[in-house]
Amino acid sequence: MHPAAKPVGFVVCLMPFLWLVWAAFTNGLGANPAEALVRSTGDWTLRALCLVLLVTPLRVITGCTAWARFRRMAGLFVYFYALMHLLSYSWFDMGFDVADTVRDIIQRPFILVGTTAVLLLTLLAATSFNRAIRALGARRWQQLHRLVYGIAALGLLHFFWMRSGKNDYAEVAVYAGIIGVLLGWRVWRAWRTRTP
């Protein structure tokens, strides 16, 4: 793979964020910029999640191991957008008011689901560098990082629950479909390698 592939991937993954910052400062986020920021950072978290889950199937199916080099970067972008999502919510929606936030979470439990997913992602991001992998041992590290499957499920639940207000599940179905296929492929592969 071309040596520039990784830096290019990095810039591409960062572009949605740069675009949002640009739009926020140039009044380009529509009538309700706070809502637009909260929603689009959430959307981009889900998209990054699809991307990171795509890495392994791509590597196995194409037989090109170079894809694995993008996995950590994609994973860290999931965490980055999830953090921006949480930050947009607590800052622009809640104004960092703890009492308001607690009240809001009691009424909207799906926020708690999302927050749990971010906390779990923190665990993965904190153990994403080489020394952590060595310290944990490859096997334990891999077991820990399988948490991302659970995190994907939590993210979907969070999105589904949020959209239930409008009975509008079209977009949720798209993400559930993509993530379902990517996780289903793993189940299928594990099952196939186990049976003789």
Nearest-angstrom CA–CA distance, 148 and 53: 9
- Rounded to 5°, the CA angle 21-27-31 comes to 115
**In this structure, what token pair is assigned to residue 147?**
């948490």
Helical (H) or strand (E) element with 158? helix 147-163
Check residue 24 for interaction with other proteins (CB under 8 A): yes
Of 103-122, binders to other proteins (CB under 8 A) are 103-104, 107-108
Q: How far apart are CA 50 and CA 105, in angstroms?
A: 26
Binding string to other proteins for residues 117 to 156, with x set by CB under 8 A, is what?
----------------------------------------
Least Cβ distance, residue 95 to other proteins (angstroms): 5
Q: By CB under 8 A, what part of segment 53-72 binds other proteins?
A: none
Among the listed residues 17, 23, 33, 145, the single contact to other proteins using CB under 8 A: 33
In sign, the C-alpha dihedral spanning 133, 139, 140, 144 is positive
Nearer to other proteins, 75 or 114 (CB): 114
Please say which residue, 37 or 84, places its beta carbon nearer to other proteins: 37
